[in-house]
Amino acid sequence: MKPDHISSPPLAPHAVSLLRTRRIARSTKPFMARGGVRGERCTGCRLRPSHCLCSQRPTQATQAGVCLLLADTEPLKPSNTGWLVADVVADTFAFGWARTEVDADLLALLADPEWQPYIVFPGEYVSAERVLHSLDAPKQESDGVAQKRPLFVLLDATWSEARKMFRKSPYLDRFPVLSLQPERLSRYRLRRSTRSDHFCTAEVAAMCLELSGDLRAAQTLEAYLDLFTHYYLQAKQQLPANMDSPACQAWRNARTHLPAS
């Protein structure tokens, strides 16, 4: 792993990064993250330059894609983990959510015959016939017709915002709802939550990737989230990254199993 005092050259911006740039462009004042690191941040990973993780970005091709619908200020938050999903999953799409208008590109993506969208949300909020708890195994092409790829639609927001987004997005009503049934508790430590059964966006995306058969990407995303969390908290406390920490050790092990780029 590269020493944390050496920053990396800029990487090509992914979907969440581009959305953040557009959101900043229409801001009337700078966004101040509560309790976060003050001062300069790397534009590629949002950490202090001394803790830059850009050289570790583990983008992978996957069978599934991820569509992130982000609440208004979510792209601006340095603790947002949808960014990490876009770092890992090559086919990640990101759109800002608004109650009064819908991005035409989002509607085009949801209608694209390449994809089968699944809205990832607790099944208790919709009728039972719309709810799925698992996905069918991927099928081979039949009669020359390619099978649709899973597209996981994640509402990237606080829980109260996500419920509002779900209720007020009628264009999502025609798609099945994938209701996850995790057997573990969240390990996310960058924001406070009163519920241990609530998961951050990266954790949800990793569970979805497991269901689609993208096991390597799921494991990579989980390890990458832990690594980012460690670097974020060390930077916040003005401490160097601990290369012997469990997160760094797990990441080194994960990197040895990644396909060559």
Residue 91 lies in a domain: yes
Q: Please give the backbone phi and psi of residue 117, each rounded to the nearest 5 degrees, phi first.
A: -70, 140
Closest CA to 57 of 219, 221, 203, 242: 221
> 81 near 200, Cβ under 8 Å?
yes
Q: How far is CA 100 from CA 93, 103, 105, 236, in A?
A: 20, 10, 16, 37
Q: Quick one: DSSP state of residue 11? A: P
Instruction: Please count the structural domains in the chain.
Output: 1
What was the pLDDT predicted at 97?
A: 97
Report the range out of 92-96, 145-149, 186-190, 237-241 with the highest average pLDDT.
92-96
User: Is 2's pLDDT higher than 80?
Assistant: no
Quote the pLDDT of residue 61: 94
> Does some domain include residue 188?
no
pLDDT tens, position by position, 20-65: 999 999 876 666 555 444 678 899 999 999 999 999 999 999 999 9
What tens digit of pLDDT does each residue of 217-228 get? 999 999 999 999
Question: What is the reported pLDDT for 143?
Answer: 62
Asked if the structure places residue 225 within a domain, the reply is no
Ranked by mean pLDDT, the top range of 23-32, 92-101, 129-138, 247-256 is 92-101
Residue 238 belongs to some domain of the structure:
no
Q: Is pLDDT of 137 > 80?
A: no
Q: What percent of the chain has pLDDT over 70?
A: 82
| CB-CB contact of 236 with 229 (8 Å) | no
Strands 115-120 and 177-178: parallel
Percent of the chain with pLDDT over 90: 74
pLDDT at res. 10: 66
Q: Look at residue 1 and tell me if it is in a domain.
A: no
* 135 close to 149: Cβ distance less than 8 angstroms: no
**Averaged pLDDT for residues 58-87:** 96
Domain membership of residue 169 as a residue range: 53-132+146-178+196-213
Q: Is residue 77 part of a domain?
A: yes
Number of Cβ within a 10 Å radius of residue 115: 20
